[in-house]
């Protein structure tokens, strides 16, 4: 029953442990945390660590491929996805009990956490389980948390309930991402609480992280399948609902790239794709795109996705099609550009189909 409820490795005998003061804890809230976690592990002299993945099964499965499986704990918390489901509250309560038993009378030297806004299970761990440990917050995420989120005047009823449930203060935040992804206000720890509880870590260059990925964590594959190809990064099925001229422009884009040379790299979090109607070939690569050697391809392009920012510089071009489309809401396009600007400074944004064609036809050096 426990394995069904919490995931395959929630209640595994060898996960019951006593955490000594030399052990480091990493809390992984999303796939985007993984690369920085791997970098931090590499930098630490002490390799005694545990990674707690709170809710992302894909992140858990991927981590188990690149490090020892016994070092990764998957909680499979899903309450935030559907708080109207009473059974998920019971499940979350069992997760809390499990954490208290698992780490009873334990301490850790350092706890690395990346999502003091969004991930309430992770917030519970740092405020209740490891409250006497040093909590390290990544520098860019700290700045994003302070500057990018605005507390709304009154908490929602749900977030007040979260506060009582997790025994910690929870505030409701507004952010430009709500206009992009939709949904209600975002729950998170109070900013003053973050200031007092966390130690701000040094900013880590994305290029240093990418260098580590390329030197130690690349997955082998037959890279002849991408030779002279243009890789299109997939997205969520409904991501383009706010674009009024998507089909017309995208068909013209495919002609510029030559549809026979375009291959789609699937998006891990979707079962269907907005590109399914265009008869495009697909790459059978199940891991994140940045963990493959892409030097044989000519272009990597997308409409808007954070995946393109995590790909290191290379002989290929990195292109976003964002500026080619007309959005029903101008603010949505503006917010996507703001989102994209945060993830990379080596992305090309053509402003017209003619400019895109000049880029693809090698007017831009690779």
Structure confidence by residue, pLDDT tens digits, 108-120:
889 999 888 889 9
pLDDT < 50 stretches in the chain: 1-15
Shared fold status for 2-204 and 220-363 = yes
**In the chain, how long is the greatest CA-to-CA distance?**
64
Q: What pLDDT score was predicted for residue 270? A: 60
The two beta strands, 281-283 and 230-233, are unpaired
DSSP letter for 292, please: S
The two beta strands, 198-200 and 281-283, are unpaired
CATH of 220-363, picked from 3.30.70, 2.115.10, 3.40.50, 3.30.530, is 3.40.50
CA 272 from centroid of its chain's CA atoms = 19
Q: What pLDDT score was predicted for residue 18? A: 53
Architecture per CATH, domain 2-204, reads as 3-Layer(aba) Sandwich (3.40)
With H, G, I as helix, E, B as strand and everything else as coil, classify residue 318.
strand
Q: What pLDDT score was predicted for residue 21? A: 61
pTM over 0.75: yes
Residues 130 and 113 sit within 8 Å (Cβ to Cβ): no
Q: How far apart are CA 280 and CA 296, in angstroms?
A: 19
Q: How far apart are CA 63 and CA 57, in angstroms?
A: 10
Residue in 28, 180, 186 with CA at minimum distance from that of residue 111: 28
Q: What pLDDT score was predicted for residue 268? A: 73
Q: How far apart are CA 144 and CA 131, in angstroms?
A: 23
Q: What pLDDT score was predicted for residue 2? A: 32
CA 85 from centroid of its chain's CA atoms = 25
Residues 6+ away with beta carbon under 8 Å from 71: 49, 50, 51
Structure tokens at 278: 């265009």
CA 193 from centroid of its chain's CA atoms = 24
Domain range list for the chain: 2-204, 220-363
């Amino acid at each position: 029953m426990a394995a069904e409820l919490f995931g395959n490795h929630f209640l595994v005998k060898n996960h019951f442990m006593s955490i000594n003061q030399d052990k480091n804890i990493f809390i992984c809230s999303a796939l985007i945390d993984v690369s920085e976690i791997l970098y931090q592990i590499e930098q630490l002299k002490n390799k005694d660590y545990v990674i707690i993945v709170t809710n992302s099964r894909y992140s858990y499965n991927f981590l188990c491929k690149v490090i020892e499986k016994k070092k990764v704990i998957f909680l499979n918390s899903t309450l935030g996805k559907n708080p109207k489901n009473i059974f998920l509250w019971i499940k979350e309560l069992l997760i809390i009990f499990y954490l208290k038993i698992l780490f009873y009378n334990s301490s850790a030297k350092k706890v690395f956490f990346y999502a003091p806004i969004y991930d309430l299970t992770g917030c519970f761990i740092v405020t209740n389980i490891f409250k006497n440990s040093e909590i390290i917050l990544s520098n860019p995420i700290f700045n994003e948390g302070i500057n990018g989120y605005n507390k709304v005047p009154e908490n929602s009823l749900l977030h007040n309930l979260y506060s009582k449930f997790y025994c910690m203060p929870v505030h409701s935040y507004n952010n430009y991402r709500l206009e992009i992804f939709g949904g209600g206000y975002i729950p998170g720890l109070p900013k003053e609480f973050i200031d007092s509880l966390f130690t701000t870590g040094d900013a880590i260059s994305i290029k240093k992280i990418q260098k580590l990925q390329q030197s130690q964590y690349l997955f082998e594959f037959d890279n002849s399948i991408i030779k002279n190809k243009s890789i299109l990064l997939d997205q969520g099925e409904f991501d383009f609902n706010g674009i009024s001229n998507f089909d017309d422009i995208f068909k013209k884009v495919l002609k510029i790239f030559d549809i026979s040379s375009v291959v789609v790299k699937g998006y891990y979090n979707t079962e269907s794709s907005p590109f399914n109607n265009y008869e495009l070939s697909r790459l059978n690569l199940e891991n994140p795109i940045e963990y493959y050697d892409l030097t044989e391809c000519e272009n990597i392009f997308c409409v808007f996705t954070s995946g393109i920012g995590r790909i290191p510089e290379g002989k290929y071009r990195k292109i976003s099609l964002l500026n080619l489309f007309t959005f029903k809401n101008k603010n949505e396009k503006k917010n996507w550009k703001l989102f994209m600007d945060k993830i990379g400074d080596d992305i090309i944004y053509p402003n017209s189909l003619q400019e895109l064609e000049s880029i693809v036809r090698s007017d831009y050096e690779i």
